Amino acid sequence: MSSSNPSRHFAFALLIPLVLAAANYASLHQQVLGFLGYHSTISSLPTVNIPQATLVGTVIDNAFPTPVEAFLGFPYASAPTGALRFAKPVAVQPGNETFKADAFGPRCPGKQLLPPGGGEDIWSEDCLTANIFRPASLPKDKKVPVMVYIHGGAFNRGTAKMHNTASMVGFATEGFIAVSFNYRIGALGFLNSRVTEKEGVLNLGLHDQVLMLEWVRENIAAFGGDEGGVTLVGLSAGAHSIGHHIMNINSPHQYPLFHKAVIESGGPTSRALHPYDSALHEEQFQMFLTLTSCSGLSDTAILPCLRNASEASIVEASNTVFAHWNPSVRWAWQPVIDNDLISRRPLSAWKSGNYANVPILTGFNHNEGTMYVPKTTATSAQFRNFWAELLPQLGNEELDVIEQLYPDPAVYPHSEYLDTRGLDVGAQYARLEAAYGHYAYVCPVRQTAQLSKTPMYLYHWATNRTVLGGANHGDQMWYETFDPSTTSVSSTHEELAGVFHDYIVSFVLTGDPNAVEGRWKRPVWEAWGREGEKGHKTMVFGAGNDERAGGKGKGVVAELLNDTWGSKQCEFWWSQTPNVED
């Protein structure tokens, strides 16, 4: 843990020990980022001059078909500590120092979201760092497209290093530059309440993201990137974030900060988006104040108290509040309607037609709900009570409709939710995970496709990873990065990874998933289209494949279908969107 002077320029002396510590941490996380275990065999290191500093990077030259130059762990904002804790981010000031950018910085404080056995977990409030990856063979006479990856983690977990962004660059057949970064999560990023609204410090994690995009706009040309060709890519909370940036009509910029978007398992209408002063958020805020010994103070004294509290107490309180509401999936520390970055309800924004008209590639996984709902759900009453607690705005009539849309296996022996897998889970678990997956992810993604006026490409990820999890939330991330945990399963999974990676990269480069040939032959992915035009075209990946789950089915790698799976249930969830936001 560390703290830094908020008036620093680049504060290299304070950052370098953290970065070097993160190098030890990174080398132990090969299962998270395959390239971290590799080393450069090139003696001359890449160097880039930007107004803030001279960055000296490293070269990953023995991991991918194309060597990748990496600039890791450099700050894009002043340390959000001391007076800058619970404050909007402040850009790093110009300077002439040299920064050794060869290791990731620490992650932002929050719940850990890395595989077990990864060694020491390095985190710090001084975490607003970025990473840039570019092909070593990048042409010097033209600027190339840029991808900015926003990590997921329920706005309470996660870090840039979860995603092997370098691999996407190294396996691409045409050059582009990729950026990943940390942003504040948990209470430090989303301490939303009536008090913090008065102080103008709502949705700080989203403000971090905006500052990063501004940094890209101002600096990416120095790396060879085209500031006019930026694609945002994000999973889960990263996808929700992108949706909010698309809907933001209060941007002060005269130019767009991004031009295309890949929105994976999420969107602006995912779950319920509440106003900053909703009863739920106020209850969570008061619990946080009690845990940090800052309760009972005047409104003007609360933030000074929190800024003086220890880093450990802030993080412990943030995690405790999140854990308290986690079983009911009424998560704390989420984006809110702040009348600034999020000035409208997302559904109203979609219907208004007033948002950033950028091409979108989006999709969902078949079993989005498996990691979130209680596996012990055993009775019909528990199924119904889950929804009554999660969405108290629903009345008995709406709860009855949910029961009908997802037939009860205890009543209907031929229900598709009758679980015959012999697993140690409750009899209502399969039913509940399907319903929650539709509500939280599948239907918001379909809503994006339904309401957007822009070119739209929709996918349905269907390959099973485990018997219990099926095609789980986030599974596709390991395929788009061509991770060995997927490519080593079989030749079919290697092809699946290659095909999905090539589609995503082609879209990043051109806005069309078919335009760049890539390394793998793949079917033409037609735009989703409106009903009565091309039909609702959806690219379905890995349907019928259960090799990773111990089966022998190879299925179909990629197939374009008029996929209507979940559409009936989505009509209900769409109708309820205005009712579940207080």
Q: What is the CATH number of the domain that holds 470?
A: 3.40.50.1820
Better-predicted residue by pLDDT, 452 or 524: 524
Q: What angle do CA 550, 553, 558 make, to 5 degrees?
A: 120
- Length of the chain equals 582
Cβ–Cβ < 8 Å for 448, 263: yes
Task: Give the mean pLDDT of 18-47.
Answer: 46
Q: What is the pLDDT of residue 311?
A: 95
389 plus 341 within the same structural domain: no
In this structure, is residue 292 part of a structural domain? no
Q: Which two tokens stand for residue 200?
A: 């103008």
- Domain boundary among the residues 285, 319, 351 is at 351
Residues 123 and 69 in one domain: yes
The pLDDT assigned to 533 comes to: 55
Claim to verify: residue 346 and residue 363 sit in the same structural domain: no
- Confirm whether 291 is domain-assigned: no
Same domain, residue pair 540 and 494 = yes
Is 215 part of any domain? Answer: yes
What are the backbone dihedrals phi and psi of residue 144, each rounded to the nearest 5 degrees, phi first? Answer: -110, 160
Residues 143, 236 within the same domain: yes
Q: Place 231 in a pLDDT band, splitting at 50, 70 and 90.
A: very high
The answer to whether the beta carbons of residues 526 and 456 sit under 8 Å apart is no
Q: Are residues 526 and 549 in the same domain?
A: yes
Burial of 413 (0-12, 13-18, 19+ CB in 10 A): exposed
Boundary residue ending a domain (325, 351, 377)? 351
| Catalytic machinery residues | 236, 368
Among 351, 380, 399, the domain boundary falls at 351
413 & 518 share domain? yes
In this structure, the answer to whether residues 347 and 368 fall within a common structural domain is no
Phi then psi for residue 333, to 5 deg, are 60, 60
Write out the residue range of the structural domain in which residue 343 sits: 12-276+335-351
Residue 252 within a domain: yes
53: which strand partners?
Answer: 50
Q: Quote the CA–CA distance of 237 and 240 in Å, as a whole number.
A: 5
Q: Does 219 fall in a domain?
A: yes
Instruction: Give the tens place of pLDDT for each residue, 462-519.
Output: 999 998 888 999 999 999 999 999 999 999 999 999 999 999 999 999 999 999 999 9
pTM, full prediction: 0.91
Please give the radius of gyration of the chain, using alpha carbons only, rounded to the nearest integer.
23
Domain annotation covers residue 67: yes
Does residue 301 sit within a domain? Answer: no
Do 267 and 378 have their domain in common?
no
Q: Sheet harboring 47-50: ordered strands across?
A: 47-50, 53-56, 98-100
Q: Are 483 and 497 in contact (CB under 8 A)?
A: yes
Could you give the CA distance from residue 430 to residue 449 in angstroms, rounded to a whole number?
26
pLDDT of 403 over the 60 cut: yes
| Amino acid code (one letter) for 283 | E
Q: Are residues 482 and 339 part of one domain?
A: no
- Lowest mean pLDDT of 24-28, 226-230, 321-325, name the range: 24-28
* Total domains present in the chain: 2
In a domain, 191, yes or no: yes
Q: Residue 536: what pLDDT?
A: 83
Looking at the structure, tell me whether residues 391 and 346 fall in a common domain: no
One domain for residues 343 and 450: no
